Amino acid sequence: MSAIRTVGVVGAGTMGQGIAQVCAAAGFSTMLYDVNPEQVGRALQGIEENLAAAEKKNKLRHEDRLATLSRLQAASTLEALKVDLVVEAAIERLDIKQELFKKLEALNSNKTIFATNTSSLSVTRIAEKLGTPSRCIGLHFFNPAERMKLVEIISGMATSPEVVASIQEFALRIGKNAVMAKDSPGFIVNRVARHYYVESLKLLENRVAEIPAVDALLRSAGFRMGPFELMDLIGVDTNLAVTTSVYEGFDRAPKFAPSPIQQQLVREGRLGKKTGKGFYDYSAKTSG
């Protein structure tokens, strides 16, 4: 079983930031890389703010906050990521993930594990461009990664049992509850969750109810967030990409069909909280 001591996280968006924080807090030397260096800076600042807030609420000791930050480092180039485990949290596109892992395989030892945080793409397809696809596995975190306890572990057709065992142990060490899932579109959670979003969007298309009413009713039914609030948090574009992937993965089954409303928001650049507008307008809140 491969011993994991160092972790490289690729992609410094909301998910990558959370994954890096979790790994560093669990004692792993963690490097964070993004094609946009400014994004890495924002992510590290976000982690500092999260940890400071936790300390202020007495949920984190001062020395633990400092220790976590000491284990975090920005990687200025992809070549710097010579690690035991790569966790990829890049854009949800097969070609980008394949090319990324191919480059990283050439840079690393033959023991490095390549874990993809894909929400819906086939782990087998992502691994097929690697010289050793047995080292590729799915490790799907949920947003926000620093708080959500669940992770899905997905074996591709070539993933070795040793890599599965290493990732199961790693998940325990970072305090996550790991569930094994088959390599099928959407895995478990995102396959089931599609209808939370798709049916809510159909209500909007058919003018059955307005956005705040749908969110309020579903919160009152026990969900922590309504579907439109959750899409804005995740990113309307990210959510659409997952829906589209599941839709294509199931031979365009009508029940998974993406919504024209969501597609229009993406075309307009209204991607949710990260852009200030999505289903809701956050511009007044973000401006001060």
Catalytic residue among 117, 140, 239, 259: 140
* CA distances for 161 relative to 46, 137, 165, 167, 259, angstroms: 36, 10, 6, 10, 39
* CA distances for 233 relative to 71, 112, 154, angstroms: 28, 32, 25
Is-catalytic flag, 190?
yes
Is-catalytic flag, 152?
yes
Catalytic residue among 105, 146, 152, 229: 152
Catalytic residue among 119, 120, 122, 200: 119
Is residue 159 within 8 A of residue 136, CB to CB? The reply is yes
Catalytic residue among 122, 190, 245, 259: 190
Is-catalytic flag, 140?
yes
The token duo for 278 is 């999505």
How many Å apart are CA 256 and CA 9, to the nearest integer? 31
Phi, psi of 146 (to 5 degrees): -75, -15
The token duo for 150 is 């669940």
Active-site residue list = 119, 140, 152, 190
